[in-house]
């Protein structure tokens, strides 16, 4: 059976079938940030991911001044998870990088965990409420270093209006959609913004941003208005 991300749910919405899908943003790597705290829970989540049909998951722990994870330490923890996990899902390691002074230093030293098969992209974020003082300057430095910035959960930034997204998109910044944003998990305004950006074609990737086992029921029961089907399918495929 091929990849078929949508099945009939109701007259106006379809639930999402994750068979063959890639999760481009998760906090399942245990004990490294504010996500999953222990290996057993990571394995329980991955077992549920198998049931949902995911074929690949990117583990993207935080790297920021408050959580200054080093790539070599994350690789060691990743190896431990790979050793313990015997299932069919392909696990990949990257990071979610806060655009702060630590990131600027790590970028200069190439001390990074890129995301994507080509290793040419960096998953990045800012504070939800205020941008860094030199947001677009840092973005330009990412490009200058030879990477494409992928803005994590683009719809969740309170300070960003349409002009920010237009400027970022025009500059070539890629954007990642949080699947849970479509559920109303972060409020109506975030959901409306997510659907608008999806309709505009501004997203390049989707991810769960899963931090806890308790979020899985919301993820597994997620539905999407039919008019957005064609937009979400290629994002779920992991292409």
What does the pLDDT read at residue 11? 55
Rg (CA), the chain: 17
Structural domains for the chain: 16-236 (3.20.20.140)
List, for residues 168-184, the tens digit of each pLDDT value: 999 999 999 999 999 99
Using 50, 70 and 90 to split pLDDT, how confident is the model at 239? Answer: low
Is the pLDDT confidence value at 230 over 90? no
Mean pLDDT (the chain) is 93
Asked if the model's pLDDT at residue 94 lies above 90, the reply is yes
pLDDT of 5 reads 42
Q: Give me the mean pLDDT over the 3-9 stretch.
A: 40
Average pLDDT over residues 84-100: 98
pLDDT value of position 16: 85
Q: Are 119 and 95 in contact (CB under 8 A)?
A: no
Taking the C-alpha atoms of residue 42 and residue 83, their distance in angstroms, rounded to an integer, is: 13
Mean pLDDT (whole number) for 156-169: 98
3 state DSSP class of 178: strand
Q: What's this model's pTM, rounded to 2 decimal places?
A: 0.94
Terminal-residue alpha carbon distance, the chain: 18
Instruction: Provide the token pair at 9.
Output: 């749910």
Say whether pLDDT at 61 is over 80.
yes
């Amino acid at each position: 059976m091929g990849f078929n991300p949508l099945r009939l749910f109701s007259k106006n919405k379809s639930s999402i079938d994750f068979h063959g899908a890639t999760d481009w943003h998760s906090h399942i790597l245990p004990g490294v940030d504010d996500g999953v705290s222990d290996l057993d829970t990571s394995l329980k989540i991955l077992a549920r991911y198998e049931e949902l049909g995911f074929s690949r998951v990117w583990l993207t722990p935080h790297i920021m001044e408050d959580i200054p994870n080093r790539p070599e330490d994350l690789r060691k923890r990743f190896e431990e998870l790979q050793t313990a996990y015997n299932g069919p899902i392909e696990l990949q390691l990257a990071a979610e990088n806060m655009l702060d002074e630590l990131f600027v230093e790590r970028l200069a030293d190439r001390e990074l965990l890129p995301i994507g098969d080509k290793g040419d992209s960096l998953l990045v974020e800012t504070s939800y409420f205020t941008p860094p003082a030199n947001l677009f300057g840092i973005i330009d430095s990412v490009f200058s270093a030879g990477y494409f910035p992928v803005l994590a959960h683009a719809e969740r930034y309170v300070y960003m209006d349409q002009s920010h997204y237009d400027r970022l998109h025009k500059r070539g910044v890629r954007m990642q959609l949080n699947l849970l944003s479509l559920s109303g998990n972060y409020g109506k305004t975030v959901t409306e913004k997510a659907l608008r950006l999806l309709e505009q074609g501004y997203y390049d990737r989707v991810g769960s941003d899963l931090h806890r086992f308790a979020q899985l029921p919301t993820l597994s029961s997620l539905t999407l208005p039919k008019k957005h089907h064609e937009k979400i399918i290629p994002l779920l495929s992991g292409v």
